[in-house]
Amino acid sequence: MFKVGSKLFLGTTGFAAVNLVAYLIFVERLAIGGVALSMLFAALIGVSAAVLMINDGDDETQPRDTALTRASMWPLIAAVGLVLLVLGLVVSQLYFIFGGIVLVAALAEWMVQAWSETASDDPAHNEFARRRLLHPIEFPVIATLGLGVVIFSFSRIMLAISKNAGTVAFMVLSALVLAVGSMFAIRPALKPALVSGICVIGAVGIVAGGIAGTGAGLRPQLAEAAAEDHFSHRECGPEKAKYFDKKAMKTLSLRSNVAAVIELRDGKLTADVYGFTRPQQQVSVPRANPVTFIFRNFDSAERRMVAYLGTAAAAMPVDGEMAGKHGDTNETCTQLIPQGAEQALTITYNKPSIAQDNDKPFTLTVAGLEGQAIEVVVP
């Protein structure tokens, strides 16, 4: 009648009763310890009663389960998720969210696995059913995550090492991928374990590199650029600006059919206006319309073209407030470009030339070069 469980709980209940009485007599009455012990006693009575009633959960009339529950990783992962969740409350929200996702995913997998194991008597069918249900979700999600981690790690490596090392690293890595891929293609009979082993080593290598890269931080140039606002350093003088003129040589202006090409050659500024046979000193452009000029520097010194946009808010560079005004003069300019390079400048002139003070028409000049200007006429 009394089985092991019932005996255990009844014994514990008795032990708790003895304890409670002893505490009340020997320690003190009406203290917190007494309350706690009486609660424990009450709880144990309840549990004992329940165990007695269900006869230790033993049902002799039903046959014992023959199919054993298989090993599962979900309890472990759920526990990890739970730990992360709790840890996140203290450490950071990121852990909390990540832990929550892991926990929910693990519970879902757990549920489906638990269901599938009792779905039918055929274990093979049960496993098939589980796969059929979960693979459509598992595969894309795991692939996305895996690829994301690898790509992210790779980007960390590339950001940490210097530009030249980056080129080398990229070439080496792609050559490696190609070589390994070719090997797999040539030897289709390779053991799956070997193939996956190689892949895992590669992935782990990249992830490790990524972690190292994150530790090392951005390379100095990038860190500097990230700290600066590109346009806040725009300067239109003849001297080299620290940031604005960085890598000006690499700026291309592959635009056809522009309003005019402004050329600096032998210290003279001329405008090559499509349609005019001779070089011009004046360019007529429509009002209120974005027009593009290309500046070509044939001078041996590094030069920039400066567009004077009038005293009033008569004209503005297309990038609007970003370029802004420089002191009292309303102007915009290209970068400082070396000999043979070219750059484009897009400007909208909203007011006609007659709105300007006659002495100071709209012009295109070159910083540091006196007496040379192309007049921009806006009818």
Partner 1 sequence: MAIIERPAPGTTLVPALAPSAPAITPARTFGALRRPVATTGWKSWLFTVDHKKLGLMYGATALFFFIIGGLEAVLIRLQLAAPEGKVLNADLYNQMFTMHATTMVFLFVMPMAAGFANYFLPLQIGARDVAFPRINAFGFWCLLAGGIVVNLAWFFGGAADGGWFMYAPNSGPVFSPSHGVDFWALGLQIAGIASLTGAINLIVTVLNMRAPGMTLMKMPIFTWMITVVQFLLLFAVPVITVALFLLTFQRSFDAKFFDVAAGADPLLWQHLFWIFGHPEVYILVLPSFGIISEVLPVFSRKPLFGYPFVVFSGAAIGFVGWGVWAHHMFASGLGPVSVAVFSLATMAIAVPTGVKIINWTLTMWGGKLVFTTAMKFAVGLIILFTIGGLSGVTHSVAPSDTQQTDTYYIVAHFHYVLFGGAIFGIFSGFYYWWPKMFGKMLNERLGSWNFWLMVIGMNLTFGPMHILGLQGQPRRMYQWTEARAGEGFFNLGFWNLIASIGSIILTLGVLFFLINIVVTARSKVRAPLDPWNARSLEWMTSNPPKEHNFDSIPHVNHLDEFFHRKYEEDPTTHTMREVATAEQVLAELEKNADAHIHMPSPSYWPIVLAAGMPVVALGVIYSIPVAIVGGLIMLYAIYGWALEPATAPAIDHDESSSNGHNGHAVGASHG
Partner 2 sequence: MNHRRSTEPHVTRRFSLSRMRRTPLSRAMVRATTAVGAVVGLGSCATNAAQDTWQPKGPNAKMIDDLQQPIFAVAGIIGIIVFAAVSYAIWRFKDRGQPIPEQTHGKPALEITLTVIPALILAVVGVFTFRVIFDLAKTDDTELVINVTGQQWWWEYDYPAQNEWGITQPIITSGQLVMPVGTKVLLRETSRDVIHSYWIPALNGKRDAVPGRIHTLRLEADEPGIYAGQCTEFCGLSHANMRMEAVALSKEDFATWVANQQAAYQSPAEGTLAKEGESVFLNQCVRCHQVDGLKRPDGSLAIAAPDENVWSGAAPNLTNLMTRNTFAGAMFDLLRDACRDDVWNAESAEFGAKYLAGVDEACLNVNDLRAWLRNAPEVKPMYANPALLADTNGKYRGMPNLGLSESDIDKLVAYLLTLK
List residues binding partner 2 (CB under 8 A).
Answer: 256-259, 274-277, 282, 284-292, 348, 350-352, 354-355, 377, 379
For the CB of residue 271, give the shortest distance to partner 2 in the complex, in Å. Answer: 11
Provide the minimum distance between the beta carbon of 321 and partner 2 in the complex, in angstroms, as a whole number: 16
Nearer to partner 2, 327 or 379 (CB): 379
Answer for the pair 306, 239: CB distance below 8 angstroms, yes or no. no
H or E, element range at 100: helix 93-117
Residue number with CB closer to partner 2 (62 or 277): 277
Smallest gap from Cβ 275 to partner 2, in A, equals 5
Site for partner 1, residues 257 to 276, rule: CB under 8 A = 257
Q: Using CB distances below 5 to 8 A depending on partner kind, what does residue 258 bind out of partner 2, partner 1, none?
A: partner 2
Nearest Cα residue to 264 out of 375, 365, 377, 346: 365
Classify residue 371 as left (phi > 0), alpha (psi -120 to 50) or beta. Answer: left
Token pair in block for residue 10: 């009844």
- Residue 211 has a CB neighbour count (10 Å cut-off) of 13
Residues between 107 and 136 that touch partner 1 (CB under 8 A): 119, 129, 132-133, 135-136
Q: Which is nearer to partner 2, 197 or 290 (CB)?
A: 290
CA dist 295 and 342 (Å) reads 5
**Nearest by Cα to 55 from 9, 12, 17:** 9
The DSSP code for 241 is P
List 4, 111, 137, 208, residue binding partner 1 (CB under 8 A): 137
For residue 245, which amino acid is it? Answer: D
Q: Choose which of 282, 348, 350, 363 interacts with partner 1 (CB under 8 A).
A: 348
Pick the closer one to partner 2 by CB: 236 or 285.
285
* Segment near partner 1 (CB under 8 A); pick from 201-209, 210-218, 255-263, 270-278: 255-263
Question: With contact defined as beta carbons under 8 Å apart, do 365 and 354 qualify?
Answer: no
**Cβ distance to partner 1 smaller for residue 236 or 347:** 347
180 binds partner 1 (CB under 8 A): no
Nearer to partner 2, 12 or 292 (CB): 292
287 binds, among partner 2, partner 1, none (CB under 5 to 8 A by kind): partner 2
**Cα angle: 61, vertex 62, 66; to 5 degrees:** 145
Q: Which CB sits closer to partner 1, 11 or 290?
A: 290
Stretch that binds partner 1, among 75-83, 85-93, 193-201, 254-262 (CB under 8 A): 254-262
How many Cβ atoms are within 10 Å of 4's Cβ, its own excluded? 10
Q: Using alpha carbons, list the distances in angstroms from residue 90 to 80, 82, 87, 93.
A: 16, 13, 5, 8
Strand-pair partners of 295 = 262, 343
Q: Name the site residues for partner 1 (rule: CB under 8 A).
A: 119, 129, 132-133, 135-137, 255-257, 290, 318, 346, 348
